[in-house]
Structure 1
């Protein structure tokens, strides 16, 4: 399916969409002032091993993944606002606590709360973007724009943190809590305004928007699969019915496995690489870490929409395969790069970032295309299982680092990318449910 995304479509963004983008920008910026340095804080404060640091971060993240799925599914049933604001309040409280804990046990508990609240927040937020942008091409632009501003925040955050002196400091978590509280305030205003605007629309226009939204999603059209009829609008499903549908969607399940592995590989940069460089006593460690994070985000900011335009004629899975080749190349580069080669690490991160700019926004669009309208929150929630890869990365990478060394971490990661490429190659052969008749499965 050829992409017809155009910047002129930005005019179709409602005010609520701009608030979502602004909130992502400021909260991710403040988050990345401090969170990437959490492993360094734990090591320097308590002297614990790479495996122990990985166990703390992975344990919290694994728990949050499962909770995140139910957050997405519950937002279909109870509404986005209730779930998002409950998660947001927990998020703010968690980061306030993180600025004050002084023991390993305290860190373990509060890191778990932070991870859980973020996991609950993300799927309803992605579903909200899809809800407020009924046109499929405008929605793709919205998902791409959200990923773009998140990376602008990632680029600004670490360098701003170094400049104002809060990088690696616990007090920096208060800044994250404050910006998130500001976002929740703006979001409450935006939701009220959007609801009033929708209520003023003529009924025939509302029906037209619903039909646009329901005709946008589906199937594996980008996989060259036979289209599956969209289900008519129906009452909200029970959690059990939702789980039954997800259990029959083999394409979704294969995607989850493939993207868990993909996230595991990518996340070695966020956790294992930082621990590897820390233990190797690399000169100018904080500058190198901040520069890698900045380079990662800057490449995405500069190239994301350029790459989207260049790959407009490729299907979603073809774009993802190109991104996977670049991801594998970056892992090989990291495996052979001398530990003190500052610009070598930056070069590897640049290649990784180009792959990321192709991969991750496309994954979000892919899920949006697959999801039935009435189960959109559940599908984005199921996509949160991807983050099992992120969750296991600190533990798996830390153990490999302790027992095999840094080069083996990245060599093994490169091999895992080959497995992901195979899983994507078989997607078009897999069955999906018939959403009109939940007890049936289409075998194409």
Structure 2
């Protein structure tokens, strides 16, 4: 049901982050025994999941109306581009993903330039652990409260947390300040991630819902761009300039989000009536 979807998104994201939190520590422990063990373990997990699905998975599911004719791929692409709201939110997601998609990568680059390798390892390990614990403990309780009706306010809150977190990164001079900064930054991640999917869920036609989610996943390109752009800035400018650049990406993402969500309140009011 529509009213339960934000809760389900948050549960899924929480479980995913448990994997992200456990994986590196488990891999590091296995690597101490043998460098090949993390790869063998990963392959075993993949094979195990395949076996479980092959034996118990439901392969007869049909998520679309069988009476509806399939839409040609090129026609779907044209239709998606014609949806102004989807285009705006996809661009907003791409720009914001530059900031939060691979933050550990660009923070590692920044720390290697500004501190020692030992300090970099210590800070990044603490940042990753704090981020994972925050998401696991708060994603469900916060994410389940996100609704279509107040989506703009949630996005303002999430993007504001990103800005505060970036400011904290730029000013951090101790482990404690890094922990506080990543905690604030993570709250933004906890809010923005389900809010994006709630918006797409709201505007997607039932027969094109999968395509709409697929278009939103183009934001992963932003996650890949983040370390590249930060690396270029670090190679050509003073190190702290990367935070100015990332702040501009947040501002630009917010602009596209609000352009896309400008008439969402009207849609929500119509639905409730």
- Give CA-to-partner distance per residue, 1:378-430, whole Å, 9 cap, x none: 11211121111112112101111111233111122123212222222222457
SS in 2 for 1:406: coil
In the alignment, structure 1 residue 387 sits paired with structure 2 residue 220:
yes
- Normalising by structure 1, report the TM-score: 0.54
In the alignment, structure 1 residue 178 sits paired with structure 2 residue 44:
yes
In the alignment, structure 1 residue 140 sits paired with structure 2 residue 45:
no
- Give CA-to-partner distance per residue, 1:117-152, whole Å, 9 cap, x none: xxxxxxxxxxxxxxxxxx223443332211110111
In the alignment, structure 1 residue 413 sits paired with structure 2 residue 242:
no
Partner of residue 273 from structure 1, selected from 85, 90, 107? 107
Rate the CA distance shift 1:277–1:417 in 2: closer, same or farther, 3 A: same
Aligned twin of 1:240? 74
Q: How does 1:97-246 map to 2 (within 5 A)?
A: 135-165=1-31, 171-192=37-58, 195=60, 234-246=68-80
SS in 1 for 2:104: coil
In the alignment, structure 1 residue 373 sits paired with structure 2 residue 239:
no
Rate the CA distance shift 1:234–1:318 in 2: closer, same or farther, 3 A: farther
SS in 1 for 2:103: coil
Partner of residue 331 from structure 1, selected from 143, 153, 166? 166
Matched-pair contact (CA < 8 Å) for 1:300–1:357: yes
Partner of residue 342 from structure 1, selected from 155, 159, 175? 175
In the alignment, structure 1 residue 300 sits paired with structure 2 residue 166:
no
- Normalising by structure 2, report the TM-score: 0.84
- Give CA-to-partner distance per residue, 1:131-184, whole Å, 9 cap, x none: xxxx223443332211110111122223333444459x5652332222122222
Rate the CA distance shift 1:331–1:321 in 2: closer, same or farther, 3 A: same
Rate the CA distance shift 1:309–1:382 in 2: closer, same or farther, 3 A: closer
* RMSD value, Cα: 2.9
SS in 2 for 1:405: coil
Partner of residue 316 from structure 1, selected from 151, 162, 175? 151
- Give CA-to-partner distance per residue, 1:259-312, whole Å, 9 cap, x none: 111000113522111122234314354343222111111101111122235555
Structure 2: gaps spanning 5 or more residues: 265-273
Task: State the Cα distance separating 1:358 from its structure 2 match.
Answer: 0.8
Matched-pair contact (CA < 8 Å) for 1:263–1:390: yes
- Structure 1 distance, partners of 2:148, 2:69, is 37
- Structure 1 distance, partners of 2:126, 2:200, is 32
Bigger relative contact order, structure 1 or 2 (CA pairs below 8 A, ≥6 apart): 2
- Structure 2 distance, partners of 1:233, 1:304, is 38
